Amino acid sequence: MREESGAVTTWASGGWVEEDGIGSATLRRLVEAWPRRAAVATSSDVLGGPATYDPRVPDYPLRMVPFAQHPRFLAATGEQRRQVLTGLWIGYNERVIATEHLIAEPAFDLVMRGVFPGSDQPLVRQGVQQAIVDESFHTYMHMLAVARTRELRGVRSRPEQPALVTYRRLREVLATMPEAWERDVAVLVWGAVAETCINSLLALLARDDSIQPMHSLITTLHLRDETAHGSVVIEVVRELHARMNADRRRALVRCLPLALEAFAEQDLSTLRLELVTAGVEGADEIIGDLRATPAGRRLVRDFSGAQRMIEQLELTHAVDFDFPERPEWSPGVGVRG
């Protein structure tokens, strides 16, 4: 996109198009599709019905467990391994909810509060408010998932979880920024990276037919919304970036790799907690061995959405981050429009 206040020129398939500050055609299509796409508008009834629950079916896919083949884990009882999978599923939901509250919603709120020039455009406001409604419904879905799982599996207590690693890293970055405008850019960047990357994590569960059908249904509904959010966020960030001054643009470029690194970080303490809670012997050994492997240091994430955002901002050469190959299970960020 080429900058200037007032008219903005964007690249469309046919060439450069003038869009006089009313938002892109892509954003318009995304906003108009919301009533047909949003889980809250189309699928809220599926959560109310009695869920079929076969206790023999696991809550979380074993193939996503990085220590699944570790001899100490294999030596645990079947019930302990089952408890670990249930704990991983509940923890996954807890972290999705925390990501909505601590990373996605604060970024959307900043846009709605109008702290960035360009965020007063009706289409931007409409698209972002739709996303806020969606996020609230996602929290509700995942909250129900936790409550149901705890009830059906008889999980009376949960170990206290560490703060979300991505949020810890955001706080650390914010602590180095004396200026409010700079902190606003950091929050926006963290939100934008979350919104363009969360879909891959959801897709892993949504497509899995080895777990409880209700779990994959919830993640499928969430995934559909997030695929659209990824595209909405790219359009919104393009609109805002086009109107940023040089200082804000520099802050955005500085924050992007920091946010991407934060989202690539593997927090092994959450895995250890589930092993310890289930009483698996050798939890520290399992985690220690995992730490020595590439999977123990870095999450396999699909960053193609964030990569596309950076391309659209024409910042590919300015952002210092080693993008991994796109994993084959990746759904990508939604088709434009």
Judged by CB under 5 A, does residue 142 bind Fe ion?
A: no
What distance in Å separates the CA atoms of residue 60 and residue 130, rounded to the nearest whole number? 30
Q: What is the three-class DSSP state of 265?
A: strand
Q: Which is nearer to Fe ion, 90 or 104 (CB)?
A: 104
CB of 174 to Fe ion, least distance (A): 21
The nearest distance, CB 142 to Fe ion, in angstroms, is 9
Question: Which lies closer to Fe ion via its Cβ, residue 31 or residue 273?
Answer: 31
Q: Least CB distance from residue 291 to Fe ion, whole Å? A: 30
**Secondary structure class of 298 (helix, strand, coil):** strand
Contacts of residue 154, defined as CB under 8 A and 6 or more positions apart, other chains included, come to: none
* Closest CB 228 distance from Fe ion, rounded Å: 8
Closer CB to Fe ion, 225 or 274, in the complex? 225
Among residues 138, 142, 224, 243, which is the contact residue for Fe ion, using CB under 5 A?
138
Alpha carbon distances (Å) from 160 to 141, 157, 164: 21, 9, 12
Say if residue 86 is exposed, middle or buried (CB neighbours under 10 Å; 0-12, 13-18, 19+).
Answer: buried
SS (HEC) of 1-47: CECCCCCEEEEECCEEEEECCCCCHHHHHHHHHHHHHCHHHHCHHHH
Number of H helices, E strands in the chain: 14, 2
Residue closer to Fe ion by CB (options 96, 286) is 96
Beta bridge partners of 9: 2, 18
In angstroms, what is the minimal distance from the CB of 305 to Fe ion?
Answer: 11
# residues near Fe ion by CB under 5 A = 5
Please state, in angstroms and rounded to a whole number, the distance separating the CA atoms of residues 198 and 27: 20
Residues of this chain, 170-229, that bind Fe ion according to CB under 5 A:
195, 226, 229
Q: Which is nearer to Fe ion, 138 or 224 (CB)?
A: 138
* Three-state DSSP state, 194: helix
Pick between residue 183 and residue 229 the one whose CB is nearest to Fe ion: 229
User: Shortest distance, CB of residue 318 to Fe ion, whole angstroms?
Assistant: 26
Angle at 98 between CA 95 and CA 102, to 5 degrees: 140
CB of 43 to Fe ion, least distance (A): 14
Stretch that binds Fe ion, among 41-49, 82-90, 129-137, 164-172 (CB under 5 A): 129-137
User: What track of x and - describes contact with Fe ion for positions 10 through 29 (by CB under 5 A)?
Assistant: --------------------
Q: Which is nearer to Fe ion, 19 or 135 (CB)?
A: 135
Binding mask 227-246 for Fe ion (x = CB under 5 A): --x-----------------
For Fe ion, the closer of residues 38 and 165 by Cβ is 38
String marking each residue 313-332 x if it binds Fe ion according to CB under 5 A: --------------------
In degrees and rounded to multiples of 5, residue 313 shows phi and psi of: -85, -5
Q: How far is the CB of 229 from Fe ion (least distance, A)?
A: 4
Neighbouring residues of 81: CB distance < 8 A, sequence distance ≥ 6: 73, 278, 280
Rounded to the nearest whole angstrom, what is the least distance from the CB of residue 135 to Fe ion in the complex?
Answer: 5
Q: How far is CA 210 from CA 25, 63, 99, 215, 270, in A?
A: 40, 10, 26, 10, 23
Q: Which of 173, 196, 176 is nearest to 99 (CA)?
A: 196
Nearer to Fe ion, 138 or 272 (CB): 138
List residues near Fe ion by CB under 5 A. Answer: 135, 138, 195, 226, 229
